[in-house]
Structure 1
Amino acid sequence: MNNTKSFSKTSVLCFVLLTFLSGCAKDYSMNPPPDGETVEIVIKMPEELEPQPLRVMYRSAICRRVVHDGDGRAESLEGRRGYDSALMKRGATSFYEAELFINGGGPCKWRLSNVIVGIKYRIPGGFGEGVTSGTGGTVIIKFDEKNAPISVGGVRAVVGPDLRIVKDYYPWISEKFIDGYAKRANLSSEGGGYLTYEAREVRNIYFEPVLHSDVVVTSVSPKKHVIGDFIKFYYPDGSVESDWRARPNFEKMQKIRLAAEAKK
């Protein structure tokens, strides 16, 4: 009799424990409806450049997360689910494309929040031995009012379903010495290389980076930490500027190129 009662209590305890654990195990999977609304992204890529994988983020008001501030106080925030997604090349053309669902579905009812598009040099070693890919060429597209993982500069508001981005880019070869030597092939462009759009209604995105590969700016960082000693930028017109800003003067690059084109 005692053995029967003991077995019964143990069985009930196990049942309650399993029920509790399964109730806590949330399903964070995504399951977008096959006929759901989508965003199409198309990039026309110069031969020297290539796209980086898209950084995609979805948010959920149902599957929330808890964070703590410096004083240990808990705060409940919307859940986030991010992943990288490669763009597919359209045959033998210079176009790359991707399609993302607005509604990510699943028990959490995921919703597309933002996408980060990046471009880089396909073969940075073409600028010299040991040269690696650097910064520049980042486009941030927000589909809600939330901040993206990268938040730089001003936000451009877009109305309507179409977003067309055609921007000028210049090769920027940077050389640094402090905290280890590095030489990188960057891209100089508007907004310091970072463009942010709030495009809640946008469903068609076209991005065309126009690379002016013959108009190159180089920079050399100081070899030691000296107050007032800044990065030196060497522009294609022969001018040299020492600037506290860590990036080339894009407006100056535009003027140099347009002046050279006007003489042709």
Structure 2
Amino acid sequence: MKLGHFAAFIALFVGLSGCRQDYSLAPPADSEKITVTVKLPKELKTETLEVMYRSGACKSVTYGASGQRIELDGRHGIEVQLQRQGQTDIYQAKLPIDGGGACRWKISNVMFGVAYIDPTRFGENVTFGGGGGVLVRFDKNRPMRSSGLPVKVDGNLKIKKDYYPWLDEEFLGRYKKTIRLAGEEDIYLSYYSPKARIIYFEPVLYSEFLVRSAGPIEKKKGNRTTFIYPDGSVLADGRSKPNFRKLQAIRLAVEGK
């Protein structure tokens, strides 16, 4: 369930130790906040912002391969909708660092991003396939999704990244056609920034530089995904995603830079 106001947030976690403890969030009114801001291109929309809080006071319990009991910091997940600021292209959310409550929750990591408003403009039954995501960690706990080694940043985050539309067709198994946002990383940009209080994300979308790809029709040795770049060049060089440097070079050549 997607909610826009902090007072209405619902816990998503289960399995904390104890049976009658109150695990709800109760952020103090004076809790310091983290401000997440997204400057949105007109063809895109913001995805739900997911926030993970952790607690050393309310442990979660899991079991190892041999049945041993393992206690971990408790987890409490919430979802937030970024709110448009007036009639601008700026969307924002403010997140309490101190989640309060009996468990003394503290913010651990946040995950957010952008997606196409209408994927079907690229064809019937086209769906959004990912890209344009950001994951920021504030502590050493495992984040809500694996995203590789994060970039360490001291202080606030200002992220401005280039993206290109990537239309992909897959034929093996169930046929699917997706539109993605091709950037430097696969899906999520990952950061570790324990002192960040302001997170600004500006995805720059170059809509006119569409890259297309088609996976193999037959599973056979030597068959590879074929990429057709905006300049008409065709490559099947074993890559699973577009060559971002090549896309940048094509655009800069067209723009005369």
Instruction: Point out where structure 1 has 5 or more consecutive residues left out of the alignment.
Output: 1-22
Of 182, 189, 200, which aligns to 1:195? Answer: 189
For the pair 1:250 / 2:244, whether they are aligned, the reply is yes
State the SS of the aligned residue for 1:218.
strand
State the SS of the aligned residue for 1:192.
coil
| Count of matched residue positions in the alignment of Structure 1 and Structure 2 | 240
Q: Which residue in 2 is equivalent to 1:118?
A: 113
Summarize the Cα distance change of 1:63–1:208 in structure 2 as closer, same or farther, 3 Å threshold: same
With structure 1 as the length reference, what TM-score do the two structures score?
Answer: 0.88
Alignment of 1:107-186 (within 5 A): 107-160=102-155, 162-186=156-180
Alignment of 1:1-264 (within 5 A): 24-160=19-155, 162-262=156-256
Shift of 1:245: 3.2
Distance 2:142 2:252 in 1: 36
Q: Which amino acid in structure 2 is aligned with residue 262 of structure 1?
A: G
Instruction: Point out where structure 2 has 5 or more consecutive residues left out of the alignment.
Output: 1-17
Distance 2:148 2:253 in 1: 28
Q: Which amino acid in structure 1 is aligned with residue 29 of structure 2?
A: P
Distance 2:116 2:24 in 1: 34
Distance 1:154 1:250 in 2: 19
Distance 2:186 2:28 in 1: 38
Q: Which amino acid in structure 2 is aligned with residue 92 of structure 1?
A: Q
With structure 2 as the length reference, what TM-score do the two structures score?
Answer: 0.90
The more displaced of 101-110 and 227-236 is 227-236
Output one character per residue of 1:7-44: Cα deviation in whole Å (capped at 9) or x when no partner. Answer: xxxxxxxxxxxxxxxx7311100100011100001110
State the identity as a percent.
Answer: 45
Q: Which amino acid in structure 1 is aligned with residue 130 of structure 2?
A: T
CA RMSD across the alignment: 1.3
Distance 1:120 1:130 in 2: 16
**Aligned 8 A contact 1:37 1:102 in 2:** yes
Shift of 1:152: 2.1
Shift of 1:100: 0.2
State the SS of the aligned residue for 2:253.
helix
Output one character per residue of 1:150-190: Cα deviation in whole Å (capped at 9) or x when no partner. Answer: 22233111112x21000000000011112211111100001
Shift of 1:71: 2.4
The more displaced of 195-204 and 239-248 is 239-248
Shift of 1:243: 3.6
Distance 1:111 1:163 in 2: 19
Distance 1:108 1:145 in 2: 19
Distance 2:187 2:71 in 1: 33
Shift of 1:242: 1.4
Shift of 1:134: 1.1
The ranges of structure 1 where at least 4 consecutive aligned residues each deviate by more than 6 angstroms after the TM superposition are none
**Aligned 8 A contact 1:153 1:194 in 2:** no
Shift of 1:253: 0.7
